[in-house]
Amino acid sequence: MAKIIDGKAISAEIRGEIKEAAAKFFEENGYRPGLAVVIVGEDPASQVYVRNKKKACDEVGFYSEVYELPESTTQEELNALIDKLNGDSKIHGILCQLPLPKHLDEKEVILRIDPSKDVDAFHPVNVGNIMIGEYSFLPCTPAGVMELLYRSGIEISGKECVVVGRSNIVGKPQAMLLLHANGTVTICHSRTKDLSEVCRRADILVAAIGKADFFTADMVKEGAVVIDVGMNRRADGKLTGDVDFASVEPKASYITPVPGGVGPMTITMLMKNTLTSAINHNK
Ligand code: GUN
């Protein structure tokens, strides 16, 4: 029987700490950490994410602005908004919700955001800082995974860590953070030969490939820590991770559920980055 890592509880604990720090920041400086969230178009999933980000800001006592722009927004209009937010001293974090409508250039937007306000940590400057281990901002999902491991008392140093998935947002930075924590890290992807064999070596397995219930018990070592970053919808509409929880849970020592594992941590880490940015801008 695995211990279930309760992402909701850990997230609530961290939000409590951030709220306290934000109150202290306000007391000392007379203004609040501020986040601007930009959404273009009407993608329903993105609208839910943006609403949750605004709610999280209210919960921890941050100032926030939400810009809901129409689908017809041009690159020039979006660039102008980012320029305005880059120069706005009330705003310490800027997040442009992705994906953008097809006629807009995501890369251009990422490059335009001032790296010191890039609380997603998507700008190449921040990506580079992650590589060398000197960073202000960590990408929210991998940072959330690290907090789950730390706060569950899981040792990383010297452990075999297998990250499955090599996206710029999750897999690659996740591998780097585990490496900085002295894990022995392997990154797997769609061309990996004998994925099961590599996964079975893992003391810590991070599943981030976006395939429902893909990782089964035969791919997991007895006693492994299994972190499920997946968020997939089954044909019956139910939310599920990349890990087949029912078969893997009895074999793992620790496991994250979906929902209620990594998911709740992501926005919490966004709050943490926004607080960090406000503190840095105040220096
Ligand atoms: N869309 C889905 N996840 C994210 C995220 O972490 N940041 C941004 N900007 N857009 C997203």
- Closest atom, ligand 1, to C-alpha of 169: 6
Range of the domain at 173: 140-262
State if pTM tops 0.95: yes
Determine the atom of ligand 1 nearest the C-alpha atom of 98.
10
- Structurally, how many domains does the chain consist of? 2
Does some domain include residue 23? no
Q: Which of 79, 114, 149 is the last residue of a domain?
A: 114
- CA 267 – CA 263 distance, rounded (Å): 8
Please indicate, yes or no, whether residues 197 and 231 belong to a single structural domain of this protein.
yes
CB-facing half-sphere around the CA of 54: CA atoms within 13 A: 14
Ligand 1 centre from 64 Cα, in Å?
Answer: 17
How far, in Å, CA of 183 to CA of 173, rounded? Answer: 13
Q: How far is the CA of 16 from the centre of ligand 1 (A)?
A: 23
Query: Which tokens go with 113?
Result: 């955001």
Question: Quick one: 152 and 223 in the same domain?
Answer: yes
Residue nearest to atom 11 of ligand 1 (CA): 98
Is residue 170 a contact partner of residue 178, using CB atoms and an 8 Å limit? no
The domain that holds 225 is classified in CATH as: 3.40.50.720
Give the closest residue to 97 by CA, choosing from 136, 131, 50, 134. 50
Pocket-forming residues, ligand 1, beta carbon under 6 Å: 95-98, 120, 140
CB neighbour class for 277 (10 Å; exposed up to 12, middle 13-18, buried from 19) = buried
The reply to whether 187 and 92 lie within a common domain is no
Whether residue 234 sits in one domain with residue 156: yes
Q: Is residue 256 situated within a structural domain?
A: yes
In a domain, 246, yes or no: yes
Question: From residue 34, how far is each of 17, 30, 77, 235 by CA, in Å?
Answer: 17, 13, 22, 39
Q: How far apart are CA 23 and CA 46, in angstroms?
A: 29
Q: How far apart are the first and last CA of the chain?
A: 48
Q: Are residues 64 and 158 in the same domain?
A: no
Residue 70 belongs to a domain with what CATH number?
A: 3.40.50.10860
Sign of CA dihedral 282, 151, 223, 214: negative
Do 106 and 170 fall within a single domain?
no
- Verify that 217 and 257 share a domain, yes or no: yes
Q: Are residues 148 and 248 in the same domain?
A: yes
Asked whether residue 129 is domain-assigned, the answer is: no
pLDDT per residue, tens digit, the chain (283 aa), is 899 999 999 999 999 999 999 999 999 999 999 999 999 999 999 999 999 999 999 999 999 999 999 999 999 999 999 999 999 999 999 999 999 999 999 999 999 999 999 999 999 999 999 999 999 999 999 999 999 999 999 999 999 999 999 999 999 999 999 999 999 999 999 999 999 999 999 999 999 999 999 999 999 999 999 999 999 998 899 999 999 999 999 999 999 999 999 999 999 999 999 999 999 999 8
